[in-house]
Structure formats: structure tokens, C-alpha cells
Amino acid sequence: MTSAIVIAGVRSGVGKTTIASGVMGALARRGLRVQPFKAGPDYIDPTYHTIACGVPSRNLDTWLLPHPVVTELFHRAAGAADIAVVEGVMGVFDGHSSLDEDGSTAELAKLLDAPVILIADAGKVARSVAAEVYGYQQFDPDLRIAGVILNGVGSERHLEFCQPQIEATTGQPVVGWLPRRDDLVQPERHLGLIPTVEGTVVNQWYDTLNAQIEQTVDLDAIIRIAATAGGPINAATQVFPDTPQRARAAIAVAQDRAFSFYYQDSLDLLSAWGAEVIPFSPLDDEALPDGVGGVYLGGGFPELFAGELAQNEGMLRSMRSAVQRGLPVYGECGGLMYLGDSLSDLDGRQFNMVGAIPVVSSMEGRRLHLGYREVEACAAGPLLCAGEQVRGHEFHWSVLQEPPSEESAAYRVVNQSGRPEGFRKGSVWASYVHVHLGSRPGLARRLVDTCAAAASK
């Protein structure tokens, strides 16, 4: 079993990503092979991990994915690592349900049999922080909380008012702390942290963070705690093929500043089932790559780059030509917005897009749509047969001028009274729902099959 640690927070906003990225980076600087993971469906936090560790971070979600798939993906990535570091999601007990642990960091930690380092905010308390940590420890005695890191500590004198009571009350060590430092805080916007692909995160931030972690966090203690992880050494194959598959389709995948929301394991699954994944940029490339059998447009922030997307007329013509030829095109969230007739930026300016589906998306009157979705395919498509169901996640602020009709919808949202979701038109399928291709067996293989069939025509 690979050494593993879960870094979880008492709530959102306590510095999980900063501390997890710092611990990952500091361990990697020691020469350890660190495999990063993110609990839940987040696309942005893993980009910070990837820079810290030099290898792709991967998502582990116990609601989106069947539990055997979670363990398969974990061991597939962590098998060659010295230590796996998992950043939690929200508060350690928060997940899909208000009454059970489904989809929570706690459920994931117990599934992996990995010890938890709990992050608590000491910014406006002293001895009282011990009561909070103790409450989390007692809330679920089966969760193996093995240490605490305090964030927002004002001084070493402040630490002296927090640490002794935590250790006396819980029996768990305070293995580190971070001071209040504005230069360690990363800027945020409407969907959380800014993705590193946009170039806003500089190496100096990582250098500063790693130096702070090395100074005030006991990395040796974290390594010792991680070595107590249990769990099976190997996991049975659930979604990856048992034997290598020959390459039989090229799939163009949009990857640039506007489109960067992909699960690394989804891309790996496409490759494993016979796809040649070819990155392209709707912002910068003049046309789709030659010879592709399909197009995958993931999520991102097209609303921030709407003008540039609209000005790239060559790519828009290439996309329209591909749609007219019947090339399979699959879009999620930002991909849906790009495939529509038009979208508006944050200033309300409207720009023409591909026009493959009847979508006008806007940031005016925006409101947050957030949560897990269970959807049923309304017709046969690139991922599912008609009537098949899959779990996904929705997270966006943009709104549509006209919602999808039952006749043109891609899905029915099963856990929201069957409301229509997404659009299907010819060879184009697009939805606000993000799907992990490991959510059920056969998703990646069906998409590759669909693109291979199109390429052979």
C-alpha cells in the first residue's frame, strides 16, 4: 500500500488548497515521488497540485464514481509513488447528502483507509479551536484524524494558546501551522480559484509557500502518519481495459485558457480505449486538427475570452464545417456555451459563436447552479444509449435565454423531477453537466467507437 494522507478542512475557505499544494511541493522538493489527488468534482484545485508535484492530479469522487472505480483510479496512479496526498472538498463531512457521508472527504478517507490531517482556522480564536477539532473527532470516531494543521496563526504566542489544548483534548498532534500572510492568498473569482493555465500563478508563489511549509510544518511527522495508511495493494479493473487497445480514432480536445476543465482520468480512459487525444485551441488555432473523428469541448471560462473566440473566424468556420459533415461533437458547460449561437461576457457584450445548437448564454442575471446530477439519456448519443443513466456534476453561473425543450434535450435530470437538460442536434451533444468517463463502464469506449465510426466514413 502506498503511503497516503488526506488533507481535509473543517469547512471551505480554511486554506486547504494552499496547505495541500505546499505540503505536496515541499515533499516533492525532498525528492519524493508525490501523487496528488483531489476529492470531489473540482477542476481548478488540481491544477495547483500538478504544478507542485510535476505530475497530473486526479479526482476521486465517491458519489460520481462507484467505489471500486475510486480504488482502481487511486491505485493506478499512486502505485509508483512514494506518497499520495489527497486534498479534501468543502468541510470533511460535507457531500451529496445532509444526513450521511455520501460523496464526502470522510467517506473517501475511510474507503482508502488513509489517515486525515485536519486543517482548522485559528484566525479569530485561541483555546476555543480545540473544541472545534474535538467536535470533528467525535462526530465520526471511525474517521482516522491523525493530526492538525492550524491556519491563520497570528504569532508563536498565539500558537501557544491553541496547540496545547488541542493536543490535550484530542490526543492528536498539531503537526504544523501557517501564519497570516497576504502573499500566500491566491485571488478568486466567480467559480473559485483562477486556473493555473491562465498564467496568474507564478513560481515565486510556490517558492514562498514551500519555504513557509518547510519552516512551520513537520513534514517528517506527516510522512510517518502517511505510512500508517492501509487498504488493498491492488484494485480490480473496472473501467480501464484489461489489455492494451490499438489506436482507432483521433479525438480533438479543446485545451487552452478558455477550456481546461477535464478529469485527467477521463482523458486517460479515452487513450486507453483507442483514442489519440489531440489538443487544440479554439482561441489560437486556425482550424481543427486534420483527420480527427470527433471533438470534445470541456468546460472552462469562455465568457472571459468571448471576444477572442469570436475573432477566431477560422476556427469557427472549421467547427461549423465539422458539424455539417456530421462529425461527433461533445460539449460540456463551457463547451455548450461555445457551441451555441452566442454568449455574453461579464460586461454584457454579446458575441457570435459556432451556432451548432440553439443556445444564447449570458452572464447577465447570473446565478449559481451547483450540485450533483443524475441524468438519463433521451436518445442514443456519444456516451450513452437511450434510457441509460449516469451521474455528473453541474457548476456554472451563466444562464440560457431559452431552456432546452423535451424534444431536443440531451438528458432528463432524474434527481430533479426529470427536467430537460442539454441539447442534441444532429451529431452534436452538449450539456451543462460534467461527466467523469469513469462514472460507469463503457462511457469512454462508446465515445471512441462513435468517433472511429465517423472517421471511417
Catalytically annotated residues? 333
Nearest Cα neighbor of 355 from 378, 322, 393 is 322
Residues 46 and 44: their CA atoms lie apart, in Å, by: 5
295 pairs with which residues across the strands?
A: 252, 329
Q: CA 180, 184, 190, 191 torsion: positive or negative? A: negative
Distance CA 265, CA 272 (A): 10
User: Which grid coordinates are listed for 34?
Assistant: 508525490
Q: Which helix or strand (DSSP H or E) is residue 150 part of?
A: strand 145-153
Backbone angles phi, psi at 343, to 5 degrees: -145, 155
Q: Are 383 and 447 in contact (CB under 8 A)?
A: yes
Pairing of strands 399-400, 360-362: antiparallel
Query: If you write DSSP's letter for every residue of 97-130 in order, what string do you get?
Result: -SSS-TTSHHHHHHHHT--EEEEEE-TT-STTHH
CA 111 from chain centre, in angstroms, equals 19
Residue with cell 483562477: 194
**CA distance linking residue 145 with residue 108, whole number of Å:** 13
Furthest C-alpha separation in the chain? 72
Backbone φ, ψ for residue 393 (5° rounding):
-145, 140
Residue 93: strand, helix, or coil: coil
